Structure 1
Amino acid sequence: MRSLLFSTCLCLAPFVTGAALASNLPKGVEQRGEAAFSFLGFQIYTARLFTQAGRPLDWSQDFGLELTYQRRLSQSDLVEATLREMARMGNALPIRDQLEKCYRSVAPGDIYLAVSDGPDRLAFWRNGVAVCTLYQDNIKTHFMEIFLGNDSRSARFTRALLGQ
């Protein structure tokens, strides 16, 4: 059960204020949807999706995904959960060392933001500070499908995040 919990608690780069968030998002993006993810009745994080002009998600355009954590999770749990979810979805895995540079342990209120820059680059911020950029073929799709794909852990969460 713990494995499933951490499989769904993935980390993205964070921001503390709206101004900090806006400066790290692609030009012209607006909030599309928002959702809360809970497991066994405990809220784990809230998520917000930012798309071009707030329109429906278009995977060919850049977008951002923000998570605000409500629970403490270790760096190791976040890395392992990301690798497990990407493997479960049949997606290419980033190098573990890269994820360890991106992720830090989180506590309630910590915010991670992931922002795409084309299909092969994904930048991460934690509480408004840039922490890393992943470079890998189709990393935007492979990583973001964890939250936004047809096979995500929670179809209801994904639909709300997509504004449906």
Structure 2
Amino acid sequence: MPRFMHNCLSALGLAVALAGAVQASVIERALPGAELRGESTFRFVGVPLYKARLFTHGGAPLDWSRDFALELTYLRYLSGADLVESTLRELERLGGAPPVRGQLERCFRDVRRGDSYAAVSKGPDRIGFWNNGQRVCTLSHPGIKGRFMAIFLGPDTRSASFTRRLKGE
């Protein structure tokens, strides 16, 4: 491999590692005592869309009564509008979408390969969102933690095997 290509790949690897470190520090600050519990890659018709990581207090099994964090690192481009619409479709599929469209539109931005979102619950009614380490919004609605996080961690997700791995089971 030419030296130039090797240097470019090394720089890219360093940038990805630093982005992961920034995101991890966001979770550590927002959720003291959080440790990685599990991780998994979500695929849609075989195409990988994102890698997910679950952080719980001390890396313990998921306890819905405690705060936890979910980090998604995207493996391809998705528009902010796509993220909003797919989230609303999943909320509807799982029991009816709450009236949070406007909040989601403020939270979700276009993502490219390597971009990440961290969602950190703050009680049952709030979730803070960070995009690539920058705080972007707080989603507030009665019971939103259980409703939103169930898309990835609930009993009726799109992929039971994805959810089991994410939960570290």
Q: Is the 8 A contact 1:34 1:161 kept in 2?
A: yes
Q: Which runs of 5+ in 1 are unaligned?
A: 1-13
**What is aligned with 1:78?**
83
Residue 51 of structure 1 aligns with an amino acid whose one-letter code is T
| Aligned counterpart in structure 2 of residue 147 of structure 1, from 136, 142, 152 | 152
- Aligned mates of 1:128, 1:58 — CA distance in 2: 25
Shift of 1:15: 6.1
Determine helix, strand or coil for the equivalent of 1:107. Answer: coil
Q: TM-score normalized by structure 1?
A: 0.87
Task: Compare the two structures and name the one with the higher helix fraction.
Answer: 2
- For the pair shown, the structure with the greater C-alpha radius of gyration is 2
- Which residue of 107, 117, 122 maps to 1:117? 122
User: What is the CA deviation profile of residues 21-57 of structure 1, one whole-angstrom value per residue up to 9, with x for unaligned ones?
Assistant: 3444311110000001112222111000000110100
Q: Deviations over 1:45-104 (max 9, x none)?
A: 100000011010000000000000001001111100000100100044242111000000
Cα displacement (A) at 1:20: 2.8
Q: How far apart, CA to CA, are the structure 2 residues paired with 1:101 and 1:79? A: 10
Q: Counterparts of 2:156 and 2:24 in 1: how far apart (Å)?
A: 33
The equivalent residue for 1:58 is: 63
Q: Which has the higher contact order (CA 8 A, sep 6+)?
A: 1
In 2, Cα distance between equivalents of 1:155 and 1:33:
14
User: What is the aligned length?
Assistant: 151
Q: Partners in 1 of 2:46 and 2:97 — Cα distance? A: 31
Match of 1:162 in 2: 167
Share of identical aligned residues, percent? 56
Query: Which residue number in structure 2 is paired with residue 98 of structure 1?
Result: 103
Amino acid aligned to 2:147: H
Query: 1:19–1:38: structure 2 CA closer, same or farther, 3 Å change rule?
Result: closer
Give the secondary structure class of the aligned counterpart of 1:17.
helix
Closer, same or farther in 2 for the Cα pair 1:22/1:76, shift >3 Å?
Answer: closer
Tell whether the 8 Å contact from 2:90 to 2:151 is kept in structure 1 after alignment.
yes
Matched, 1:132 2:161: no
Q: Where do 4+ consecutive residues of structure 1 move more than 2 Å?
A: 14-25
Structure 2: which 5+ runs fail to align?
Answer: 1-18
